[in-house]
Amino acid sequence: MVNPSTVHYDISPRHFRELVHQLAPQSILTVGHQRSVELSGATGLLEGPSDFLCTNFSEYKPNPTLDEVRQGLELVNAVKPDLIIAVGGGSAIDVAKMLTVCGSPAAFNMNDVLACGKAPHRESKPRLIAIPTTAGTGSEATHFATIYHAGKKYSISSPQMIPDHVILNAQLTASMPPYVAGCTGLDALAHGIESYWSVSSTEESSRNSTEAITRLLRYLPIVAQTDSLDARREVLLGAHYAGRAINLTKTTAPHAVSYALTSRLGLAHGHAVFLTLPWFLEFNNDVTSASLADKRGIAHVKERMQNIFQMLGCDSAATARDSAIAFAESVGVRLVPLPVHVDAEPMISELAGAFDLTRAGNNPRVCTVEEVSGMLSSLLRPSLLIESADSDRGQGIIP
């Protein structure tokens, strides 16, 4: 699976206009919310395409749905773009990927695509430029897109989803609120860690994930505490390397648990992923022959885990777990207690039941629904019990 053909770093509006002119499009479709574009400072980059017929699509929300994608496809069918420019976070880029490869609504067979998880191959398609304004998802580097339908998450893949050009401009990430920056950065760090321990890891993915982990551990706290543009540049690059890594391996168990935490509890994706990642540092390290999922053996898994611990500056699974929790807090994300208002037992059962077994299949240690239920009980019960106690006094939960 190839990575983006061309990555442009800190490109100026003038050079971006030159790039668009070189591509010589007849019709351009931009994907992105106007406010996000303005806040990120990307407006200057997009002023150049005004020389061409340019249409915008912004009728989608975070965690875009199939219906929203189909609405975008109707616009694609109407304006027939030969260049699509995505500006925003993972949602904007994922929508743009779907619009790039799925063609007109008539070519987009919902049942077939959702059933097989693959978008149809197109003999010709619009070229795609991805301009991330958050440093986290790495969607600009992957060949898959995430959409939701009937409350369920689907990952749709196609080699044609890889953008033709990627613009990495750290200045565009400067408007992220602190909590958003922390959560997106933790998502990127989780990408790097999960790719590194994945059963599908390769030498290439490991190089990318190592680059991601080391950069993010060093520079994400600086971004949380200062306005350093250099630190933002390193975090953005780290997130991109993490995207390259999961492009080869996909994610594992922490992500498999996270989707339900986001959809049911409304947690930001990065917060939801990192809530369980420290627990999995210990869980995966305790792999046995009976629970082994990686064909390369227990020694290989143990070595990978030890390498991760060392990157975290630790010498054991327990200290790595504590270090990961402390790191999240250092970037402005307090993992627990959570601002949830639910009945403990039914919610834990529901969350565990939504565990994505396909995604969990990439984990080096087999993880059962029962184990996930026990983990969630230990992690969430303090939050849930706070609500129960407060409810007896007629008060809501205060996180």
**What CATH number should be reported for the domain holding residue 182?**
1.20.1090.10
Whether residue 214 sits in one domain with residue 141: no
Give the number of domains in the chain: 2
Q: What is the pLDDT of residue 341?
A: 58
Whether residue 195 sits in one domain with residue 320: yes
Q: What is the pLDDT of residue 385?
A: 45
Instruction: State how far the Cα of 245 lies from the Cα of 281, in Å rounded to an integer.
Output: 19
As a three-state string, the secondary structure of the chain is CCCCCEEEECCCHHHHHHHHHHHCCCEEEEECCHHHHHHHCCHHHHCHHHHCEEEEECCCCCCCEHHHHHHHHHHHHHHCCCEEEEEECHHHHHHHHHHHHHCCHHHCCHHHHHHHCECCCCCCCCEEEEEECCCCCCHHHCCEEEEEECCEEEEEECHHHCCCEEEECHHHHCCCCHHHHHHHHHHHHHHHHHHHHCCCCCHHHHHHHHHHHHHHHHHHHHHHHCCCHHHHHHHHHHHHHHHHHHHHHCCCHHHHHHHHHHHHHCCCHHHHHHHHHHHHHHHHHCCCCCCECCCCCHHHHHHHHHHHHHHCCCCCHHHHHHHHHHHHHHCCCCCCCCCCCCCHHHHHHHHHHCCCHHHHCCCCECCCHHHHHHHHHHHHHHHHHHHHHHHHCCCCCCC
Q: What is the pLDDT of residue 49?
A: 58
Domain extent for 288: 178-392
Q: Which of 123, 157, 173 is the last residue of a domain?
A: 173
Q: Which of 149, 173, 197 is the last residue of a domain?
A: 173
Q: Does residue 360 form part of some domain? A: yes
Compute CA distances 259 → 64, 264, 357, 361, whole Å.
13, 8, 12, 15
Whether residue 283 sits in one domain with residue 142: no
Whether residue 227 sits in one domain with residue 124: no
Q: Does residue 189 form part of some domain? A: yes
**What CATH number should be reported for the domain holding residue 117?**
3.40.50.1970
Whether residue 183 sits in one domain with residue 164: no
| Sign of the C-alpha dihedral computed for residues 232, 234, 240 and 246 taken in this order | negative
Q: Does residue 399 form part of some domain? A: no
Whether residue 221 sits in one domain with residue 206: yes
Phi-psi region of 157 (alpha: psi -120 to 50; beta: other; left: phi over 0): beta
Compute CA distances 359 → 253, 281, 295, whole Å.
7, 17, 17
Whether residue 250 sits in one domain with residue 339: yes
Q: Does residue 1 form part of some domain? A: no
Whether residue 200 sits in one domain with residue 123: no
Q: Which of 122, 152, 173 is the last residue of a domain?
A: 173
Whether residue 19 sits in one domain with residue 163: yes
Q: Of 57, 42, 54, nearest to 11 (Cα)?
A: 42
Q: Does residue 397 form part of some domain? A: no
Q: What is the pLDDT of residue 115?
A: 80
Q: What is the pLDDT of residues 95-141, one digit of tens each?
A: 999 999 987 655 557 678 888 889 888 888 999 999 999 999 999 99
Q: What is the pLDDT of residue 108?
A: 57
Q: What is the pLDDT of residue 106?
A: 52
Whether residue 212 sits in one domain with residue 83: no
Q: What's the order of all strands across the beta sheet hosting 83-88? A: 6-9, 165-168, 127-132, 83-88, 27-31, 53-57
CB-based contact 352:373 (threshold 8 Å)? yes
Whether residue 208 sits in one domain with residue 150: no
pTM over 0.85: yes
Instruction: State how far the Cα of 214 lies from the Cα of 340, in Å rounded to an integer.
Output: 33
Whether residue 281 sits in one domain with residue 235: yes
Residue ranges for the chain with pLDDT beneath 70: 1-5, 39-42, 45-51, 104-108, 110, 339-344, 381-399
Q: How many residues does the chain have?
A: 399
CB-based contact 179:268 (threshold 8 Å)? yes
CB-based contact 197:364 (threshold 8 Å)? yes
Q: Does residue 398 form part of some domain? A: no
